[in-house]
């Protein structure tokens, strides 16, 4: 059964730490021998923070997120959500992936309600929340359409509403906009920023786009190449709500160049 941290909430300082990772390591056993994906990950994420994770391809970003979600077990170290150890799939976490994975025979509204439908009957409250989310992502007029009738960006907005329908405390997103064209990707980034301003979920957002990471996040964590460690943890200085005009701020470009340099140094260093 999925584990939930919703039933027990620690009291005091720990209750402000939505996610902690302590000495987390991941080794995969393969036919050709062990492969170390994550050498060590240590960080804390405060409740309500939006944190982007950057790093070169194959450095273990997705593996780290899957361990936080409880879909992969850490080889060693501990991960906690709201002070409780992660030991299985977390219903406190909503997830988005590169592929929206919508069911083609279901309508948009039915796809949003699918996680609830899988656990039993859909209540009027569940349906009302799904309908509210579709309005929030500007898809109410398409609620009865099938996924094939939607654009790529629209399908990802359905996936975002589905990730939020259980009202999770934590939103985990693994490069959800990477397959979109540049204009649609920007539109999705602005939409996500607007929705996050409304929901204030603790969020982890994996991306290869430094620009996207700076625009969306409160902090950017940079992972080095595999076997990875965390090499940067940078606080983003811009106020919310975010406006596209911040990209003209000299600090934006300074951060971009700093983060890019950090990633390049990690890929060129001798391991």
CATH code of the domain covering residue 84: 3.40.50.300
Flag whether pLDDT at 8 surpasses 70. no
Residue-range definition of the domain harbouring residue 234: 15-92+169-268
What's the mean pLDDT in 10-15?
A: 43
pLDDT band at 267 (very low <50, low <70, confident <90, very high): confident
Q: Which of 137, 167, 197 is the last residue of a domain?
A: 167
Q: Specify the higher pLDDT residue, 7 or 173.
A: 173
Which tokens is 221 given? 């964590």
The pLDDT value recorded for residue 269 is 54
- Is 9 inside any structural domain? no
Flag whether pLDDT at 16 surpasses 80. no
Number of domains in the chain: 2
Positive or negative, the CA dihedral 205, 210, 214, 219 is: positive
Flag whether pLDDT at 7 surpasses 70. no
Flag whether pLDDT at 14 surpasses 70. no
Strand partners, 27: 36
From first CA to last CA, the distance across the chain in angstroms is 40
Q: Which of 167, 190, 215 is the last residue of a domain?
A: 167
The pLDDT value recorded for residue 2 is 41
Answer yes or no: do 263 and 193 share one domain: yes
What's the mean pLDDT in 245-260?
A: 95
The answer to whether the beta carbons of residues 206 and 175 sit under 8 Å apart is yes
Place of tokens 């979109």: 180
The pLDDT value recorded for residue 259 is 95
Which range of 12-21, 29-38, 46-55 scores highest in mean pLDDT? It is: 46-55
Q: Tell me which of 130-134, 227-231, 253-257 is least confident.
A: 227-231
Which tokens is 216 given? 């969306």
Q: Which of 167, 194, 223 is the last residue of a domain?
A: 167
Positive or negative, the CA dihedral 82, 87, 92, 96 is: positive
Give CA–CA dist 227/58, Å, rounded. Answer: 9
Answer yes or no: do 80 and 111 share one domain: no
Answer yes or no: do 29 and 109 share one domain: no
- Is 234 inside any structural domain? yes
State the CB neighbour count (10 A cutoff) for residue 154: 20
Mean pLDDT (the chain, rounded): 89
The answer to whether the beta carbons of residues 96 and 160 sit under 8 Å apart is yes
User: Cα torsion for 39, 206, 81, 35, to the nearest 10°?
Assistant: -30
The pLDDT value recorded for residue 121 is 80
Phi-psi region of 50 (alpha: psi -120 to 50; beta: other; left: phi over 0): beta
The pLDDT value recorded for residue 157 is 94
Give CA–CA dist 242/24, Å, rounded. Answer: 32
What's the mean pLDDT in 115-138?
A: 89
Flag whether pLDDT at 146 surpasses 60. yes
Flag whether pLDDT at 128 surpasses 90. yes
Answer yes or no: do 125 and 68 share one domain: no
């Amino acid at each position: 059964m999925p584990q939930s941290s919703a039933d027990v909430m620690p009291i005091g300082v720990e209750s402000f730490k939505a996610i902690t990772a302590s000495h987390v390591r991941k080794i995969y056993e393969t036919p050709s021998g062990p492969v170390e994906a994550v050498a060590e990950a240590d960080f804390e994420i405060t409740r309500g923070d939006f944190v982007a994770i950057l790093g070169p391809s194959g450095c273990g970003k997705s593996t780290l997120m899957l361990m936080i979600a409880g879909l992969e077990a850490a080889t060693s170290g501990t991960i906690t959500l709201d002070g409780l150890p992660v030991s299985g799939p977390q219903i406190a976490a909503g997830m988005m992936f590169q592929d929206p994975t919508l069911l083609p025979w279901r309508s948009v509204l039915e796809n949003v309600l699918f996680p609830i439908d899988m656990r039993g009957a859909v209540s009027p409250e569940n349906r009302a929340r799904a309908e509210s989310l579709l309005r929030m992502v500007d898809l109410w007029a398409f609620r009865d359409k099938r996924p094939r009738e939607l654009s790529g960006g629209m399908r990802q907005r359905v996936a975002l509403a589905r990730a939020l329908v259980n009202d999770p405390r934590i939103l985990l997103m693994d490069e959800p906009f990477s397959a979109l064209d540049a204009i649609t990707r920007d539109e999705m980034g602005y939409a996500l920023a607007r929705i996050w301003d409304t929901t204030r979920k603790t969020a982890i957002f994996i991306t290869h786009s430094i620009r996207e990471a700076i625009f969306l996040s409160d902090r950017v964590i940079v992972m080095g190449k595999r076997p990875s460690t965390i090499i940067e943890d940078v606080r983003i200085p811009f106020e919310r709500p975010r406006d596209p005009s911040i990209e003209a701020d000299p600090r934006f470009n300074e951060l971009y160049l700093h983060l890019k340099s950090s990633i390049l140094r990690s890929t060129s260093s001798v391991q």
